[in-house]
Amino acid sequence: MKVCTDACLFGAIAAYEILQQKSADITCLDIGTGTGLLSLMVAQKNKIAIDAVEVEDGACMQARQNIEGSKFKENISVHHADILQFEPQKKYDAIISNPPFFENDLVSTDTHKNTARHNITLSLKDLLVTINRLLKNDGFFMVLLPCHRLKYFEEEALQYDFYLDQKILIKPSEIHDYFRGILFFLNKRNIASPKIFV
């Protein structure tokens, strides 16, 4: 599986935001961990317990190998599971996800790629239902999405009383359009307007 620059940027920002909580008792869930990149980046900066969940066989195996080969393996538990059926014995303070991007797009003949890139197995609505089920009342979550999906996701998130706290827009260079966005939601209303960074 390839590692993209936007995913690395997301991992760095997620690690920073979790670090700002200044607590070692934080529990974190990584939905659709893929290679385990986000969990590893968060674990580099935070000594917290992370559950990394991945449904696709090959990606889950790769995540396990990557995490077992790291010095953060004691902090990260990899679960080979469909997040819709994942039933942990706890709720989480922080949830991070780099979900499948594409909806109603042409799919590949490679089913592994489709699982990773297309929301065939996990729609954005399903993702929000899952976050609503697994996030603590005072928790927060972050997602990385293509820009054309941001407005839809923000509107859907409001249906679950998730409130946008920060939006970070990413473009590959000064001459290109924004192509990714990182959204940071709180599980409670924030009096201030959302902060938007570009």
Phi-psi bin for 136: left (phi > 0), alpha (psi -120 to 50), beta? beta
Q: Is 37 contained in some domain?
A: yes
Residue 33 lies in a domain: yes
pLDDT band at 103 (very low <50, low <70, confident <90, very high): low
Report pLDDT for 22: 82
Position 120 pLDDT exceeds 80: no
Orientation of helix 124-134 relative to helix 150-158, angle to 10°: 40
Please check whether residue 179 lies inside any domain of the structure.
yes
**105-111 average pLDDT score:** 52
43 assigned to some structural domain: yes
Identify the band that residue 2 occupies on the pLDDT scale cut at 50, 70 and 90: low
| Mean of all residue pLDDT scores within the chain | 89
Q: Does the pTM of the predicted model rise above 0.85?
A: yes
Query: In which residue are the tokens 């260079």 written?
Result: 173
Cα–Cα distance measured from residue 50 to residue 30, given in angstroms and rounded to the nearest whole number: 7
Helix (H) or strand (E) holding 29: strand 27-31
Chain-centre distance of CA 123, in angstroms? 13
pLDDT at 5 over 80: yes
The rounded Cα 153 to chain-centroid distance in angstroms is 13
**Is 196 among the domain residues?**
no
Instruction: State how far the Cα of 62 lies from the Cα of 182, in Å rounded to an integer.
Output: 25
Q: What local confidence, expressed as pLDDT, does residue 192 receive?
A: 60
Give the pLDDT band (50/70/90) at residue 104. Answer: low
Please tell me the predicted confidence (pLDDT) of residue 118. Answer: 38
Band of the pLDDT at 158, cuts 50, 70, 90?
very high
Residue 42 belongs to what domain range? 5-17+24-191
Inside any domain, residue 32? yes
Instruction: Indicate whether 133 pLDDT > 70.
Output: yes
* pLDDT 10s digits, 46-67: 999 999 999 999 999 999 999 9
Mean pLDDT of the 131-140 span: 96
- How large is the average pLDDT for residues 145-174? 94
Percent of residues, the chain, with pLDDT higher than 90 = 76
Domain count, the chain: 1
* Residue bearing the bigger pLDDT, 121 or 140: 140
Answer whether residue 197 is part of any domain.
no
Q: Give the domain CATH number at 30.
A: 3.40.50.150
Residue 92 lies in a domain: yes
185 burial (CB, 10 Å; 0-12 / 13-18 / 19+) is: buried
